[in-house]
Structures are given as C-alpha cells and as structure tokens.
Structure 1
Amino acid sequence: MLKTLDKALMLLNRFTVDRPTWGVRELAAEADLHHSEVHRVLVTFADNGFLVKDAAGRYALGLKLFELGHIVQKTFSVDEVIEPALKRLAQESGETAFLSVLDGHDGLCINVARSPQTLRFSIDQGQRFALIAGSHAKAILAFQGDAFRREVCDRAALKDVALLERQLAQIRADGWAATREEAATAVAGVSVPIRSSRNDAVIGSLSIAGQMHRFEEDAMPRLLGLLKTARSTVESAVALNR
C-alpha cells in the first residue's frame, strides 16, 4: 500500500514548470514503470481532481492542487518552519544562523538563531545591511542583474568595482559565497542564495557566521553541507510568503 502511494506521489512530482504535461507512455518511460501501472495512477488522480486530461490524452495538474495550495497559503505560518530550521542549523554548525532578504537596494535580516558559542557573530532581526560586504550580502548581490549591481556600487561609492565584480562572478560560478573579515573583524561567513519558486530569481540568502578560526578550509564542506540541507526547508517557506 505504502509502496503504491510512494510511486503515485513520485509520478505526481514529475509535473513541473519545465514539464507541465505528460503522456502515459512517456511518463512511464521516464519513471521506469509499466505504462498500465502509470495509466491507473493518472486516472485515479484525474478522477479526484488532482490531474486533468486534455483531448490529446495528455495529463496536467488539476484545480484540486490549486485549491489545496490556497489553503496552505491561508493557514501556513512561515515562522513555524523557518525558526526551527535556523535553530537546528545553529546547533549543528555551532555558529549564528540567519536568513536575509533583498529589500530595495539593501539586505534585511528577517530571522536569526544565535550560536551556542561564547564568541559569536551578532546580527539582529530587522537589521539592514549594504550588499557589498559579507557573504550574506554577496550571495544576494551576485545573482542580480548588471544594472542593479551598478546602482548598488554607485550608492556605496565603491572605488574598486572591478574587484567586486570578479568576486561576484566566482560566487555565481560556485553557487555560494564565503568571506573573511568583511562584515566584522575576526569574523567569517558562508552563505547560499535563496530563490523564488515563481521565477527562480534570488530573493535572499541563508548564512552562518562566526569566529574566523572556525571557518578554516577543512571545515567548509561540512558547513556548506549543513547550509544546503537547511536551504531546502527555508527556501520553500520564504517563497510561499513572497
């Protein structure tokens, strides 16, 4: 029973923005299942409003999912998801974990979980920051358009724009940002971008920061792994609320 349900949900998850419709046989081939089994699952979903079938026999997501999504938006509390995720990230990493969003031409910290360490990075909920220094800032700025980045640099009267652009290009290539002693003395940070589910635009960053000696090169794979795991939870919550 559970295996059948697992297969059914796996098939439903194949419907994405990039691939919104499927025929029975092509979905069966994609999922490596027999087409008769896939056909039964799709028919059941269609009978219950989760899928619709067009005149060509192809299936797409149905209005039942829209209805359920509307219920989620009405009842879903972002903080109930984000706060536990940040607390877990702070405990597992041993560092201050915080979530920031793009607000105008600045970054804005919207949630913080303090490090259990005595010596720790301090940032407050509601604290605004420039986008030119710190991994939390650069993980946002790196993925904005050329014109926006120029405006940010002009507002900050930044002298070495070429250096910043090289750093941002490396962040785009890596998919994450790490800095040392940019946001504060003796502090290092590592951050990953947070994207919108609607248009894949970067709308914020998830970060951990702390004393620089705890961010040596051999520690980075573990810290980055923890960040990426937490991002999968945080990103979906932020996207629902923006």
Structure 2
Amino acid sequence: MSAEPGKRRPPVRAVTGPVLGRALRILEAFGPRHAALTLTDIARRSGLPLSTVHRLAGELIAWGALERDTAGRYTVGLRLWEVAALAPRGQGLRERALPYLEDLSQVTHENVQLAVREGAELVFVERIAGSRAVPVHTRVGGRFALSATGVGLVLLAYAPPELQQEVLGAAIRRFTPHTVTDPQLLARMLADVRANGFAVSDRQVTQDALSVAAPIRDPAGTVIAAVSLVVRYGSFAPQALSPLVRSSARAISRALASA
C-alpha cells in the first residue's frame, strides 16, 4: 500500500522474486486516496500488464488479500488485516499502550498518537482523536517522514547514527513555513530531544498544530516507539504538556517490561 509523505520504500521488484514481486506491486497500488481500484487502475499504478493483474487479482481474492465490490472495483481484503494484526511491533505494543493512551486522551481531550520507526519513516500504530482537538492528517497504518512530527523527532533522535546521517543528508520535505529543513538545526533539535527526554514539533506539519512527544523503551532500555499529544497551536505551552506525555511514555514502558 502506498506510503505517506516521506521517503518511499524500495520497489518490491528489487527485493522479491518475479511472482511474489508482482503480487506485492498490486497491493502497493492501493493507498489512502486509492482505496478502491479497477483492474485498469491497478495495472496503471503498478506498471503491470492488464492480463497479469487480472490473473494475480483472482489469486489474491481467493486467498483474501483482495475483495471485489458490487461495482467491480477491488479493495484490500480483511485477510491482510488479520495477518498484520500479528505483527508484535503493532498489535502487541498497541494492546499494552492503549489503556495509557486512553487515559491521556480523557485527561486532555486532545489527539494522542503512538508510532514506531520502520527504516527512514514512521508508522502510526494507534491514534485517538480528541473530541475538540485540532484536525490531524494521520491514520493508523499511515507512514510519515521522521523529520517533522513530534513522534518522528523522538524516533529519529534515538535512531542509529548512520540512519540519522541518511535523513539529515537527504532533501528534507517542507510542509509549512515552520518546517525545519536545515540539517544542522535539525541535528541540534535531536540533541535537545535526547537531553530533555521529549520533542516539540511546532507547526511543522500544519500551521495550526503543535505536538509534544516522548520515547517508549523496551525492557533493555532501547527506544522502540513514541507517544505524542497533538494540540491546537497556542492552546498549551509545550512545557505544560511534556510532563503528561513523558509520564504516559514511562507507564507504557513499564507495561512492556512486565509483559
């Protein structure tokens, strides 16, 4: 399925065999804005011949990876959700974290997000929308660049040095006039995250939102995820939110340690 803004994954044909690679390219044709596709759409977006798409789509439907609606369009099947739910970094983490995410949401009535890093991107594992909170453009399972969001800054700050250099050495996408694209300034921000134990993303993704995030650690002390609050810019000072977010992150870390 298509990546969110940020660095795209390598083409599947570069890392898989011919048949599996073509099947994965069909699945990658789907995305947040392309949830229902015709065979022609899939062929165009995947770059595969229509005859190949027709044959493999039938096999994917038989297995449950795809479904077909009454209009003849194809959608991602529930079988993929069942398999994805077995991923320990997703479902297992979410189950342990969810009570604390719900507590944080109930206390603040703001957006709460949980994310993990995959390569040079982040993946949102859970999101709870506050009843009166600022709108956000994230979704569970969605990907985003590490360099702009609060959770992304945390995950990048604790990423291996070689990955940090990869991100800082590449072109950094600008989302708003406040997005930090200077690699030297971004490197200093990452150092501050490690020193202070939390990150602040000030209108870097949208003009009206500010997020504060903190790291979640496994029993060995390795940062494996990040939790954040996303609020309307000007409604809270970051210093007022950081104790709440850090407390939730520590509680989730303890829950993981006791699993």
| TM-score where L is the length of structure 2 | 0.56
Q: 1:129 aligns with which of 131, 138, 144?
A: 144
**Higher helix share goes to which structure?**
1
- Please, what is the CA RMSD of the aligned residues? 2.6
Whether contact under 8 Å (1:171, 1:177) holds in the other structure is: yes
Figure out how many residues of one structure are paired with residues of the other and give that number: 163
Aligned match of 1:148:
163
Aligned match of 2:117:
102
Check 1:238–1:195 CA distance in 2 against 1; reply closer, same or farther (3 A cut).
same
Aligned match of 2:45:
none
Amino acid corresponding to residue 164 of structure 1 in structure 2: L
Q: Give yes or no for the alignment of 1:88 onto 2:103.
A: yes
Q: Give yes or no for the alignment of 1:195 onto 2:209.
A: no
Check 1:174–1:165 CA distance in 2 against 1; reply closer, same or farther (3 A cut).
same
Counterpart-to-counterpart distance in 2, 1:238 and 1:122: 28
Counterpart-to-counterpart distance in 2, 1:229 and 1:182: 24
Q: Secondary structure at the match of 1:129?
A: strand
| TM-score where L is the length of structure 1 | 0.60
Report Cα offsets for 1:141-177 as digits up to 9, x if no partner. 1122321101123344576211111111111111111
Counterpart-to-counterpart distance in 2, 1:238 and 1:101: 14
- Unpaired runs of at least 5, structure 2: 1-87, 174-180
- Unpaired runs of at least 5, structure 1: 1-72
Whether contact under 8 Å (1:95, 1:120) holds in the other structure is: no
Q: 1:227 aligns with which of 236, 239, 245?
A: 245
Q: Secondary structure at the match of 1:214?
A: coil
Aligned match of 1:175:
197
Report sequence identity in percent. 26
Whether contact under 8 Å (2:147, 2:172) holds in the other structure is: no
Check 1:137–1:239 CA distance in 2 against 1; reply closer, same or farther (3 A cut).
farther
Q: Give yes or no for the alignment of 1:160 onto 2:182.
A: yes
Whether contact under 8 Å (2:147, 2:156) holds in the other structure is: yes
